[in-house]
């Protein structure tokens, strides 16, 4: 078994990033790089519509895309939002709304058919949330989901979460907790772990970069793939934050300090993958 193939076990010592990238270089054309968006590629903002990728991130993704088999963004955001905020990068696959939408290499957005009947329910729920939840709650309607944010009013967290869970039970919706947000989704079997598990079936390796509890399912998918195939190389990377950072870091092989630091990390990885001298 490769020393980087960690299976279902947590590493006893921190993984050496340079060693991991050199091992990846040997199979770069068969490797997928997965990224969450909020808190990973872009810092979290009080206004979720105002976020932008951290410096160096877009340039690094553009340089990485032709080197590896695939670069994919797997996010709670809609595909259209991701496309707009990634500056029209070519060759990037987008999985939005936890996989309820996807677009491959700039192609059309495809919606999971089982989710479409829930659009009217979500629209009504968003209107209800705006009418019933206290001022300070930000209601984000995403067509196929509704996210309830309390970042600017943390004292409302328990009340907003209780309301959201009651509505989810009433309507038969799924709930995804996150960083000062609760998201209500259709009862359709799609999440980050399922997306990653499907994409890596024929891959020789993959990295996943994430910052939130929903990303732990993606880590688990890489570990399951590695457990089934001794030749598969999987690396799980947590981006630190004060809200869910410790829980996510404990499930990862490497930890990066911030989205800005991720831009530097990816830039430094490029010479390893392209065969250029490092130093």
Helix (H) or strand (E) holding 244: none
* 94 DSSP β-pair partners: 73, 103
Q: Is 189 a catalytic residue?
A: no
CB 161 within 8 A of CB 182: yes
The tokens 């990485």 sit on which residue?
A: 64
Helix (H) or strand (E) holding 226: helix 215-228
Burial of 209 (0-12, 13-18, 19+ CB in 10 A): buried
Specify the 3-state DSSP secondary structure of 243. coil
Question: What sign results for the dihedral spanned by CA atoms 118, 163, 158, 123?
Answer: positive
CB 233 within 8 A of CB 205: yes
The active-site residue out of 16, 30, 36, 191 is: 36
**Rounded Cα gap, residues 114 and 98, in angstroms:** 14
**Rounded Cα gap, residues 90 and 250, in angstroms:** 33
Q: What's the token pair of residue 145?
A: 């989901």
Other beta carbons within 10 angstroms of residue 257's beta carbon come to: 13
Active site residues: 36
């Amino acid at each position: 078994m490769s020393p980087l193939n960690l299976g279902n076990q947590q590493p006893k010592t921190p993984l050496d990033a340079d060693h991991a990238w050199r091992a990846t270089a040997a199979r770069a054309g068969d490797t997928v790089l997965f990224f969450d968006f909020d808190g990973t590629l872009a810092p979290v903002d009080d206004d979720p519509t105002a976020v932008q990728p951290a410096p160096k991130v877009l340039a690094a993704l553009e340089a990485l895309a032709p080197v590896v088999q695939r670069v994919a963004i797997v996010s709670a955001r809609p595909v259209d939002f991701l496309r707009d905020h990634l500056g029209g990068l070519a060759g990037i696959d987008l999985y939005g709304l936890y996989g309820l939408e996807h677009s491959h290499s700039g192609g059309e957005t495809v919606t999971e058919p089982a989710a479409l009947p829930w659009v009217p329910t979500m629209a009504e729920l968003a209107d209800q949330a705006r009418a019933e939840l206290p001022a300070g709650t930000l209601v984000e309607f995403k067509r196929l989901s509704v996210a309830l944010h309390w970042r600017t009013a943390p004292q409302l967290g328990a009340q907003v979460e209780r309301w959201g869970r009651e509505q989810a039970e009433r309507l038969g919706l799924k709930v995804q907790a996150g960083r000062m947000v609760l998201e209500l989704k259709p009862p359709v079997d799609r999440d980050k772990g399922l997306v990653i598990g499907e994409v890596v079936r024929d891959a020789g390796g993959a990295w996943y970069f994430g910052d939130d509890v929903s990303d732990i399912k993606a880590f688990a998918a890489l570990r399951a793939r590695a457990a089934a195939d001794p030749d598969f190389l999987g690396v799980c990377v947590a981006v630190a934050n004060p809200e869910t950072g410790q829980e996510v870091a404990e499930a990862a092989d490497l930890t990066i300090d911030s989205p800005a630091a991720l831009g530097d990390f990816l830039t430094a990885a490029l010479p390893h993958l392209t065969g250029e001298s490092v130093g």
